[in-house]
Amino acid sequence: MFRFIARRLLETIPVLFIIVTATFFMVRFVPGGPFDSEKATTPEIRANLEAYYGLNLPLHRQYTNYLKAIVLHGDLGRSTKYASRTVNEIIADKLPASLQLGGLSLVIALVLGLTAGVVASVKRNTWVDYGASSFAMIGICVPTFVLGPLLVLVFAIHLGWFNASGWYGWQDRILPSLTLGIVYAAAIARLTRGGMLEVLNQDYIRTARAKGASEARIIFRHALRGGLLPVVSYLGPAIAGILTGSFVIETIFQIPGLGREFVNSAFNRDYTLVLGTVILYAVLIVALNLVVDIVQVWLNPKLKFE
Amino acid sequence: MPTPRLRRIVLLVTASLLTLAAGCAKKNTPPAAAPTASPSAPAAKILRVGNGTEPQDLDPHVVTGEPEHKVITAILEGLVTYGPDGGIAPGVAERWETSPDGRTYTFHLRENARWSNGEPLTSQDFVSSFKRELTPALASEYAYKLFVLTGAEDFNTGKLTDFSRVGVHAPDAHTLVFTLRERAPFLLESMLHYAWFPVHIPTVVKFGGLDRKGTAWTRPANFVGNGPFNLSEWKPNQKITVTRSPTYWNRAHVKLDGIEFYAIDNEDTEERLFRTGGLDYAYSLPLGKIEPYRREHPDTYRQVPFYGVYFYRVNVTKKPLDDKRVRRALALAIDRESLIKNVLRDAGQAPAYNVTPPSPAFTSTARIAGDLAEAKRLLAEAGYPDGRGMPSVEILFNTLDSHRVIAEAIQQMWKTRLGVNATIQNQEWKVYLDTTQTLNYQISRAGWIGDYEDPHTFLELWVTGGGNNQTGWSSADYDRLLRSALSAPSESERMAIYQKLEAILADEVPVIPIYFYSRIYAISPKVKNWVTNPLDNRGWQWVDLEK
């Protein structure tokens, strides 16, 4: 197993290198630059600006300088948009909010999703199943930009239980986490139901039933382990996405998270911030995929570390 | 074996579900407490304002935006500031004189002007600040705003290294003399902009040096300012808090205890926060909320004229738009009144038939004149009777619904009224800027808000080769007249020149003016002394909040 992990970690190095390189050149080849704005400045001032940020150097030099700074100092550079902050600072500053939002949403997603999925599969073709499946379908179909404002309308504007937006007290965490959580819960519920149904028809479940095992024991001890497999493979990339923030949720609820930086940096052509957030996202995806693979082997004896 | 562990996970999950439920239940017990207990329940007189996007920084020599302007005018002050009526009033300078030729300004600084650390503010502070801003290595984007001073442009471009030859001098601690390279009748207006504000040089030096951007000097713990308020907190992407300054020269007249500037870049989010009492002022309202607010909350709804114009640039280097008859025909065929009424919800915009928005000092007499019959005649004259044979033209805009609906309406007007086919094309903001700057378009949407309240800020755009011209249009007459405006012997003669410039534009139509902007926002009736002016700015020192 350790060999497996070590090999996978080594494999991530070329993967990250390719991602950084591709992103570096892709953002440069998009039309428009960080200093283009509606009010044009003079060519001389523009040249000064480019010199200040080292953008006047040949592209390959900029690229090697950038790689050197990352590898040697872990320095992701200076944001061109937010003059007073480095990319490292911005990430350090914004990631906690995204992690909090993501963590809470994940808990909500797992609790709601797993419960609904398991219940639906066990009570297949009853009103419970239909109810849970409709919830899942609605959750998948209603986009966050509809669900979020809808929750605000009901709970903040009409009932007055929460603030309409902001990220100050603990009560400000609830509506955004719920919005993001429900969307993922819906997907998890569907995957759990599907996975469970497949497992519940297998011979070993029938054997367990024949031996007189209680329904609870059958579900939790025998079925869930296999039934969760599709959920686990889904969770890897989903967690990476959920933890790096959601542009829509962060905009609706005015949350100082990384998701907005991720999207806005591309609009602003803030090259270093684009790269910084992409690298972070890539690292998270690679790491979580590794975790998923390990968990899958652990859940499914048919798989081996190879 | 993992099974007991799995059960433990299930238990854990159930437990967290219960905790969550308990949390929610607890939350439910005291209803209606939450919204008033919003992030900053005003114990003192704290004004909470929606302020658009997150400021890039608070260094006046580095930033370029409007949200930055709102915050910086609270914590720094220039030689002049906004008066209680929204006009120009003495700031750090208590009075000034102008030489008869209009090229020398002498400012007398008040003795009691102080930095927030208690140090006196002297004329040398302004000289050093301007020097910093013009230093090429700092690469200040708005350095050109100081180019009106003799030698400033040369110093900024590195042609001049001796700053003593730049037109700003401090003969003594409280006198500051500007020498201008040409007359600038709008100098005082333009000095309301933060590019002209002083910075506390020792603080800037301490945190990284004069020619470094974005050092830690603008962090709340380090910032030294001279405005009516002091920077006390900055939570990126959340809010910036300023509190009343005990050292400001006019502190006796400052009404508020503090201001919270909320970084909210989404209009809908901002409106919801305003509606639940989380803001006293919403910077803008979504288009769809204009009608409900006018109907149901007239006490909070505001629409005021704004010193800006929405227009279409025309690329005059490409057929068929190289023919001014075609351009005029297209300009005449737009029913601006109908556009404002049906597309823009009639929220205070005014139809634009010329470039400069009307103001007390200047209202253009020239306009793109004529009716639909004239438009058809011009088009026929250009060889396209009823649009026959005319190649399709493309309207480019940056991706935004509000631009799309306008473009669609105009597309429809050209089709039905002139028989001209137009296609519409949207591009992401920076791509659109690039396409426009490289003249890779036929017709491109644009907007311009005056830098200061003077027609010059609109009319200088179309000078040959100007960075903001972006139409390929050029006129030697226009360039000559524009240059002569600054040396006009009197204001009335200067305005007469601007009338001539407008007449040239109305005849040549390198741009098609569509409407003059209005500012639409919501403000709590508790906010007092909220004056407005054409650029919608005000001195925060005068604003009050009824408790």
pLDDT digits over B100-128, tens only?
Answer: 999 999 999 999 999 999 999 999 999 99
Do B39 and A107 make contact, defined as CB atoms within 8 angstroms?
no
Contact A36/B at CB under 8 A: yes
Contact B463/A at CB under 8 A: no
pLDDT at A207 over 90: no
pLDDT of residue A306: 60
Contacts of A263 (CB under 8 A, 6+ apart): A247
Contact B139/A at CB under 8 A: yes
pLDDT of residue A305: 67
CA of B380 vs chain A CAs: smallest distance (Å): 35
Using CB atoms and an 8 Å cut-off, which of residues 78-107 of chain B contact chain A? Answer: none
* Residue B229 token pair: 């308020």
- 8 Å CB contact between A44 and B156: yes
List the single residue in B27, B268, B468 with the smallest CB-CB distance to A149. B268
- 8 Å CB contact between B187 and B96: no
pLDDT of residue B547: 80
- 8 Å CB contact between A53 and A66: no
Q: What DSSP designation does A152 have?
A: I
Taking Cα atoms as reference points, which of B309, B304, B226, B264 lies closest to residue B502?
A: B309
Per DSSP, which regions of B142-269 are E strands?
168-172, 175-179, 229-235, 239-244, 258-262
A279-296 mean pLDDT: 86
- Dist CA B1 CA A240 (whole Å): 29
* Residue B108 token pair: 């007398």
CA of A81 vs chain B CAs: smallest distance (Å): 6
Terminal Cα distance for chain A, rounded: 9
Do A31 and B431 make contact, defined as CB atoms within 8 angstroms?
yes
Q: What DSSP designation does A157 have?
A: I
Provide the residue type at B330 as one letter.
L
* Residue B100 token pair: 């008869």
User: B229 forms bridges with which residues in the sheet?
Assistant: B244
Contacts of B188 (CB under 8 A, 6+ apart): B80, B88
Question: Does the reported pTM lie above 0.90?
Answer: no
Taking Cα atoms as reference points, which of B229, B222, B111, B228 lies closest to residue B172?
A: B111
List the single residue in A31, A48, A81 with the smallest CB-CB distance to B56. A81
- 8 Å CB contact between B438 and B389: no
Per DSSP, the three-state class of A13 is helix
Q: What DSSP designation does B173 have?
A: T
pLDDT of residue B9: 40
Contact A33/B at CB under 8 A: yes
Taking Cα atoms as reference points, which of B30, B339, A78, B404 lies closest to residue B353?
A: B339
Per DSSP, the three-state class of B266 is coil
pLDDT of residue B2: 39
Place of tokens 């007055």: A160
- 8 Å CB contact between A54 and A62: yes
Contacts of B25 (CB under 8 A, 6+ apart): none
Query: What are the CA-CA distances from residue B357 to residues B342, B349, B493 (Å)?
Result: 21, 11, 19
Do B136 and A163 make contact, defined as CB atoms within 8 angstroms?
no
Contacts of B437 (CB under 8 A, 6+ apart): A36, A40, B470
Q: How would you write A16-56 as a 3-class SS string?
A: HHHHHHHHHHHHHHCCCCCCCCCCCCCHHHHHHHHHHCCCC
- 8 Å CB contact between B115 and B265: no
pLDDT at B95 over 80: yes
List the single residue in B56, B142, B467 with the smallest CB-CB distance to A83. B56
pLDDT at B444 over 90: yes
CA of A13 vs chain B CAs: smallest distance (Å): 32
**A241 falls in which pLDDT band (50, 70, 90)?**
confident
pLDDT at A32 over 60: yes
How would DSSP label each residue in A118-149? Answer: HHHHHTTTSHHHHHHHHHHHHHHHS-HHHHHH
Do A52 and B213 make contact, defined as CB atoms within 8 angstroms?
yes
- 8 Å CB contact between A265 and A277: yes
CA of B215 vs chain A CAs: smallest distance (Å): 6
Q: How many CA atoms lie within 13 A of B166 on its CB side?
A: 29
Q: What is the mean pLDDT of chain B?
A: 89
Query: Between A and B, how many residue pairs show a Cβ–Cβ distance under 8 A?
Result: 197
A6-22 mean pLDDT: 90
- 8 Å CB contact between B528 and B546: yes
Using CB atoms and an 8 Å cut-off, which of residues 116-135 of chain A contact chain B? Answer: none
- Dist CA B170 CA A299 (whole Å): 79
Contacts of B93 (CB under 8 A, 6+ apart): B79, B80, B107, B108, B109, B110, B176
Query: What are the CA-CA distances from residue B305 to residues B348, B518, B528, B543 (Å)?
Result: 7, 4, 20, 20
Taking Cα atoms as reference points, which of B530, B457, B538, B455 lies closest to residue B81?
A: B538
- Dist CA B419 CA B409 (whole Å): 14
Given its phi and psi angles, is residue A165 left (phi above 0), alpha (psi -120 to 50 degrees) or beta?
Answer: beta
Taking Cα atoms as reference points, which of B376, B417, B411 lies closest to residue B392?
A: B411
Instruction: Name chain B contacts of A225, Cβ cutoff 8 Å.
Output: 2-3, 6
B367-395 mean pLDDT: 91
CA of B84 vs chain A CAs: smallest distance (Å): 30
Contact B213/A at CB under 8 A: yes
- 8 Å CB contact between B410 and B279: no
* Residue B367 token pair: 């306009």
pLDDT at B441 over 60: yes
CA of A14 vs chain B CAs: smallest distance (Å): 32
**B31 falls in which pLDDT band (50, 70, 90)?**
very low
β-strand pairing of B511-523 with B422-427: unpaired
pLDDT of residue B13: 39
Instruction: Name chain B contacts of A252, Cβ cutoff 8 Å.
Output: 266, 268-269
A147-168 mean pLDDT: 91
- Dist CA A145 CA B534 (whole Å): 35
pLDDT at B5 over 50: no
Do A166 and B278 make contact, defined as CB atoms within 8 angstroms?
yes
- 8 Å CB contact between A51 and A80: no
Interface test with B, best of A50, A188, A229, A254 (most B CBs within 10 A): A254
Per DSSP, which regions of B245-322 are E strands?
258-262, 281-282, 301-314
Per DSSP, the three-state class of B80 is strand
β-strand pairing of B301-314 with B281-282: unpaired
Chain-centroid distance, C-alpha B393: 31
B223-252 mean pLDDT: 95
A231-248 mean pLDDT: 82
- Dist CA A157 CA B153 (whole Å): 54
**B144-170 residue pLDDT tens:** 999 999 999 999 999 999 999 999 999
Query: What are the CA-CA distances from residue A101 to residues A18, A98, A173, A243, B452 (Å)?
Result: 30, 5, 7, 8, 43
- Dist CA B424 CA B407 (whole Å): 7
**B15 falls in which pLDDT band (50, 70, 90)?**
very low
* Residue B298 token pair: 């007239």
pLDDT at B17 over 70: no
